[in-house]
Structure formats: structure tokens, C-alpha cells
A and B are shown apart, each in its own frame.
Chain A
Amino acid sequence: MPQIKSLADLDRVRKEIIAKRDPNKPCITVCSGTGCHAYGCERLAVAFKEEIKRQGLADEVDIRTTGCHGFCERGPLVAIKPEGIFYQRVSLEDVPEVVSDTIVKGNIVDRLLFVDPETGEKAIHEHEVPFYKKQRRIVFGTNGLIDPTAIDDYLAVGGYAALSKVISSMSPEQVVEEVKRANLRGRGGAGFPAGRKWEVCRNAPGEPKYVIVNCDEGDPGAYMDRSLMEGNPHLVLEGLIIGAYAIGSHHGYIYVRKEYPLAVENVNIAIRQAKEYGLLGENILGSGFGFDVEVHRGAGAFVSGEESALMTALEGRVGEPKPRHVYPAVRGLWRMPTNINNVETWANVPLIINNGADWFASVGTEGSKGTKIFSLVGKVNNTGLVEVPMGIPLRDIIYEIGGGIPGGKKLKAVQTGGPSGGCIPESLLDSPVDFDELTRLGSMMGSGGIIVMDEDTCMVDMARYFLDFLADESCGKCTPCREGIEQMLEILTYITEGKGKEGDIELLEELSEVTRDASLCALGGTAPNPVLSTIRYFRDEYEAHIKEKRCPARVCKALISYYIQPDKCQACLICLRKCPAEAITGGKNEIHVIDQSKCTKCGICLDVCPERFSAVVKISGVPVPPPPPVEARAIRVKQRGKER
């Protein structure tokens, strides 16, 4: 284990690592991000190892399990270096062929390539896949190259060069100035300029000062922090050390939510390795600057992601927010000046230092610089993590990168900003995505979840969903949030149950105003966003629920019925057998009928009805047609045979 005691040491170690590596040696990289993990990539990596051994290639081929490549929809993903051949949906059965054909003979395994569903073109390399083409992966790009548990991998791609630059040639003030000039805004949601926060903290009286990484990523549908923390922990760590140097802090915390055990594991490994190398601890790189960091596992509370609540949690108490008369940067953890930034914000710091503020500021829009990682999820063809320059239109993200909406359905709305964000309708999709524009539209950047909704999504149900989430997560300390959210949830629930009344929409608006204005922290302050934005853009859906007792998207259970269309039913018995409520009658050659009084609306009949029949439908707002009389239910075998 080399101890790096000076800048010269770091250079030497880096050169040694690179010299030991043959850039032309084949390397099979298996994505082990969260999505691919769920697909079983671990077994895949083991299978590759065994196969390579079996074919006697153990010394000639490397295997690397890397961080998230982003294209979760097509996992498990495998990329073969140095050519960069990109295979998707790789299964255990494919392993021998990939090794014997691609590695040994240099042939492409055709069926594992990505095929553009629109053009039918096959992409051999990662950069040819439409999903990646429009992205600008400056923060996230190295994820696919390195094993997150190997510091040497990070050093080989230029890791810790920014730290070395800072220590060798920049004063703390210069670092703060550089980050300020880059106009790096907080990626956790609020978009506060990081450089200004650093400056306030640096100038605040009191010692010791603390720096914190906020990885309490609680927004449902957002997982970019997780992927960075799991896939490239040294990048975050390097940013943090640079920040600590700039601010004058010698102790940091990394707060990771407990739902991310792999992130906790990988960042702990990264810290251990950085310490062993001398990049953390006393006298880093011979500079006289010392910094230490520890990991705190969050115990599961959404509100603890709020800065003041997170600090309370770090102190070992119930993670409730505090009134913020004074910035945490002035008085935070243990009443000492504390600078807290989100994972992605910290990860941007080494890039700014390496390439300069001007370079960073050349990407993005006037008010929002750099790139942003979004998790593109929901009703979209290419689910995954995408990194794009700020200012790109939502439409490009969804259609060009995301590949549009599955099943030929129509897009209805896009939800951004998590539970505190809002819904943006299809008509505004050409809006550029940045901090200010999203706020103007009644939503927000938040941590960067983009949830795509198609015509089968009920906007009232969506608002109810978010309020339900927030009611559950509200800490209950202040009344407007605790009671306001609860009351709004109750009204929304009534509406979705068909018990909505005239005046409910106005009452929701009034409650929203009070909750927004009078709550203690951002959770309550932004809680009305899902309600207000859906009322703003989808008022007609609210009115259909209230006045016509109809759910236009046919989602709200109380307002829909399942119905078997007699002219389409082929009496195949599948739904009849699968119905858990035994609500379906019929038989062989006899049209099936749902007994509405027994139906629990679980939807299984619709799921299992063969697509070529599509006999089961959901109806809403109109009475269920009476079933055909028993004598008219027979399907004649002969006739059926002819039809087929």
C-alpha cells in the first residue's frame, strides 16, 4: 500500500497504476448499479469470471463490476473494453458466447445489441445508443469505467487531481471564489449557490467547522445520489475534501439513508482506502491540512433530508427541522458553522477545479450552470439515469433520450421535484429545464426525479398519492404542515372515492395557501405544490371526479367498474379461473360475465385477458351495461373455429 505524502508521490503512484495497465487488454465491465443489481448482475459477473477461467483466459481478460451506467431499462448491461461494445439484457446463458465469440474471436453477438425501436438500427457501441447520444455525462460518465471499491481505478482516470491542484496552487479563498464564479447551485433541490454558502461558512466565527454530504435521498423516483455514492464514492469524497479545505473544516459527515446499504458499504471502503493512501487524515499530501470524515446511517425519515433536521439527526436526536433564523452555515451542527451540500453538488466540485469555472459556466443556462442528473422514470420507454446540460427542453429528455411513451399511449404530464414538486402538462414540454423555469411552471427541480405520466394516470390520484406520502412523513412539529396536509389528503381521498363536493377545489386552494405560508420547513412549505399544480393544469379532471363521479383515466377504484365486452369474449376461461373473488360466471363456450356485486376491482381479469381478445375493459362515469341474457351467452364452437 503506497503512502502518498506529497504531490510528487501522488503523481508517481498514478503513473505506476497506469503503467501497470494495458489499455488494449480486453475488459468485461458489468454494470452493478441499483437497477442491474435487481436484475441479478452479481450472478452475471460471477458467471463471466468462471467462464473466463474455464476457457483458460484468466490472465488475458479483466472483469470489472462498475457503478451504474444509467440505462436501467436494458439491464443487466455489459460493456466490453477497449472497443466499448455495448450489450444489453445479458443473461447467464449468454455468457459463454460473449466470451468465446466477442472476446476470443472479436465477433459481435448480434442479439445482445441495442436496436433502435424506431429505425431498427443496431448500435454496437455505447455512444451510438440514442439514450446516450444527447446526454452530456461529465459527472456521471466515469461511473462506467471504474470499480467503486478500487481507489486505483479512480486514480487511473485522473482522480484526486483536483485535490492535488487545490493544495499545490490555490488558497482556500481562491477555491471559494472559483466555485462562486462557476455558479454551482445546490443539486439537492433548493438551488442555493454553493460558493456563497461556503463563503458564509468560512467567514462565520466559531471552531470547529463541519462539512456534510447529504445523501438522504428521500424523493420517491429519484436515485441519482445513490448511483453516484455507490458507483463513484471517491468523486464525492474528493469534492468534500476540497470543500473542507476551502471552508477550513477538519471534520465531515456523510449522511446516507439506511435504504442504501451498498452506498454505505462503498463509501466506507472509499474512506478506508483514502486514509490508507494518505488522502484523508492528518497532513494531506504534505500540505499540513488535515481532514477526517465519518459515515452516519440515516434511520428512515424523509424530513431528515432537510438541512436543519439532518443536523439534529446527526446529533443523535429525532430528526425534526428547526426554525432557521440563522443559516446552518453560521450555526449548524452542535451550534457550529456547518456547510451541507447534496451528493451531486459535491461531485461537481472536482470537475470545476480541474477544468475551471469558465468551462463549467459554459454549460447550461444563464441562471443554472453545468449539467443535472435526472432519473427518468414512470411511463417512458427508456427508464434510467440521464445527465443533460441545464436548459435542455423536457421534450428532448422524454422523447429523444427516453424514447417516448410505451404502448403508443399519449403523454399527459411530467412530474418533477418529488413530492414537493409539481406536474407539468404536455403543452409545456418545450420549456427548458433549469432551476428557475421549473419553479415558474409551479414545479421545481428538486433532487431531479422526472416521472412521466401517460393517459392512464389520474392527476387527482397523483396529488392524493403525494399528499399521502407527505402526511406520513410530516414530523408533526408544526400545526400548518401536520393538520394542513392531513385535511387536504382527506378532501382528495373523498374526491377519488366519488364523495367530492362543489367547493372542494376552492377549499384545497385555501388550505394550500395556509400550509405553504405558515409551515416551519420546506416540507410543509412545498407540500401544496402537487395539489396546486394539478389544479392549475388539470382542473377538468378534478371536476369530472366531483361533478360526474367519473375518473377520466379510469384509475380511482371507487369510480370504475370492470366489464367484459360480450362481443369480444371468446370464453377462454382464463379470467374466470384467475378471479380471486369468484365474481366471474360463464363456462366453456359461454360468454363470461362479471358479477359487479362480488367484484373487488383487483384488475386481475384485465391483466390476464389475452391481448388478441382484449375483452375486459374499465369503464367510469357510466353505468355498467346489463349482461346479455343467459340464453344469448353461448358461443358456437363452429363459429369460433371459423373466426380463427
Chain B
Amino acid sequence: MDVTKVDEIVAKYQGKQGILIQVLQDIQAEYNWLPEEALKQVSKRLKVPLSQAYSIASFYKAFSLTPRGRHLINVCLGTACHVRGGPKIMDKVEELLGIKGGETTPDQKFTLQRVNCLGCCALGPVMVVDGEYHGRLLVSKVEKILKGYE
């Protein structure tokens, strides 16, 4: 793995305190996950124990220690979506893809995530695929939406 990208990211924060979480977020954005080599490089460059980098990577939701799929599905299960039937949408997506929230399909096509409120409660229940919002969703429409992604 080419770790020069990691070095570049670290260099951006030169001279600042407490930057580990920010660095890891940039790496996550760059690779879409946190490869082990990248974590090791961060640990070396920032002179923090690898265990600390790992504890952060495993604590926060923004980080993934496995590669994510090509398309990211966020099903909102915030309170407003919950009372409007969000769980039924989640059940349907899980059933269609054969995976649970937080998992990726074996063909690396979809990663499914549960999110707790996207702040667009007027549209609930909401599912967001690659940033595209599908609001006031009905269970009967989920399959067609997912079929639209390659």
C-alpha cells in the first residue's frame, strides 16, 4: 500500500495538538476505510501507540476497519422516522440485501448503515443512497430504488 497519501494528510496538521481523530477522518475519506498499513503509518508519524489509533478507529462510527461497498445506504432511524415506520424500511433493506446494518454485501456493492437522524424529519421515513434522499418512503418502493444502482 502506498502510504505517501497518509504522510500528506499528517503534514497538513503539522504543529497542532490532538489531531489524531481529524487525521483518521481524512484517511477514511481518502480510502473509504482504514487499512491496517495506514493506521500503522499514522501511529509512526504522530508517535502515538497503534493501540490508541485502533481504539479511536473502533470507538467512533465514522470509521470502518473493513472496506466499504460502492454504494452507501443510510436508513434513518431517528425518532421521527421511527414513529413513521423507519424500522420497516430497515427490515426490508436488510431482507433484500441479506445483510444487517453496518455490514457490506459480499459483492462489495452496498454498505448498509443505520443513522440516528439526518435532520430532515419532514421527509420521514428517509433512506439516503449515495447522498440521494428518498423521503416519505414506503416499504413497497424500496426494491425498485435499490435496483437502480449498479
Contact = CB atoms under 8 A, between A and B. Distances in A.
Interface of A: 34-35, 37-39, 72-73, 75, 218-223, 226-227, 258-260, 294, 296-302, 313-319, 334, 375, 377-379, 383-384, 415, 418, 449, 451, 453, 457, 462, 465-466, 469, 475, 578, 580, 600, 602-604, 607-608
A37 B139 CA distance: 23
Contact of B78 (A220, A296, A314): A220
B18 A316 contact: yes
Nearest to A466: B79
A218 B143 CA distance: 30
A300 B61 contact: yes
B133 A38 contact: yes
B119 interface: yes
Given A35-B123, A462-B82, 13 more contacts: A38-B120, A38-B123, A38-B133, A220-B77, A223-B121, A259-B115, A297-B25, A377-B79, A580-B143, A603-B88, A607-B138, A607-B139, A607-B140
Most buried by A among B62, B92, B138: B62
Contact of B22 (A75, A296, A300, A465): A296
Interface string B53-87: 00110011111000000000000011110111100
Contacts of A318: 55-56, 59
B36 interface: no
Given A315-B17, A317-B52, A608-B140, A377 B88 contact: no
Interface residues of B, number: 46
A315 B117 CA distance: 26
B21 A602 contact: no
Nearest to A311: B18
Contacts of A73: 122
A466 B82 CA distance: 10
Contacts of B120: 34-35, 37-38, 72, 223
A378 B83 contact: yes
A462 B81 CA distance: 12
A302 B135 CA distance: 24
Nearest to A296: B22
Contacts of A313: 21
A5 B22 CA distance: 33
15 contacts: A35-B121, A35-B123, A220-B117, A221-B79, A297-B22, A314-B18, A315-B18, A318-B55, A377-B122, A378-B83, A451-B79, A600-B95, A602-B95, A603-B85, A607-B140
Contacts of A578: 140
